Structure 1
């Protein structure tokens, strides 16, 4: 029996083999997203109302939810995935999505990141980098793209943070393997996406320095310091100043990423509870 796979690292959808399941209009999808990220746990109507509508609670209150649940349940039943497939239970205090044999791209991402951490602990930096690249291949764009409501927005931010931590650590591994030339284009693109993220600035400085482009590395520091002053009104942190000072003395190294992607991933998983 072909299993269902739920995809949230991009527009939310579900598939059975090559067949897409229609999860309905945007608000119905937003309801399902809450159930999905709390799979196998009971979610109260109050949590769904707050997560989907926020302060704009509909006049009918929780009565708006059962029709969405009914249509989602029918969609899962119509998929014909057998008794061990996903199903939605209506309980006295709320609703529960039982995943059963269904998979998710978020779980696949987590698994690849965890395997990368194990490879790195074993000293296989190249293998860890490849596993992080495998983790990144689960992404198909902005997570939960198009979904509205406080819950979807919060999950989106957590997932994006998890992605950038994964990217940073893969590029860090490339630098530790001496592959700075390969890392530089990706770091430049990532810093353009996150212009105030200090870790990326330090990594880009280190990559340019390793590649013999010390002048460009100093320019990166100067530009970042200017952005901090102009946009946030703050000075560089001691970590960034230390990296710059090391570069001036001809010994710029790459400080370790605290915890690596596995620790950041664990924190992000814990944050997905309601």
Structure 2
């Protein structure tokens, strides 16, 4: 079922910001929560997908890095999505995403995603209109199947103004450590800003569902965007999940008592929690 009130780009208050000291405190707290969530997912076998979409230079990568800092890479995977190679061009557009879905106990983040079908492929004319229009239904059904299979789906769209985007392009040009991020395509895509905005609005309207809603992130100020996006992730992934640390079983405690130089009092206290 489609979300009753899907987001619109005009909803984003791009003036929102957060002070650096407050940001650091919130960031640390959110990272601690993410670590607890990951432990709970590993123990209970939950799984989740986080979709990162947005304008070029909107801050997706910076947010992904802050999330990655908190999580064990053995059960957290980031998939950067670019143009499909020939193998996938000859197959259904969702195949390469099916192959990258998380197993039980894991979380996967997609830096760009299956929404390229109804944005890039639509605007650039890579796909006939009849096919990208079918993409809305295919994507909704894909995400419905994920949710029915027990996968939580969190979708984030980072929105910035054209002026802020140009400012960040210039920053990348001037900073030798960021120049690799700047490409000719970044500037070429700007000439189609209005076409992309139209595609984004229709994407929100047709794919923001009650089981996988879109979260619009005002991203003109990077710190505010990171904290806001991470709050959305924490809320969606922790809802209804027991985040309390899991207790050791009796067999493990017996082995610990036998092999470790620890007080019996510690073992007894841990055993009491288990029982």
* TM-score category, normalised to shorter length: under 0.3
Higher helix share: 1
Task: Compute the TM-score of the two structures, normalised by the length of structure 1.
Answer: 0.27
Task: Compute the TM-score of the two structures, normalised by the length of structure 2.
Answer: 0.27
More relative contact order in 1 or in 2 (CA 8 Å, sep 6+)? 2
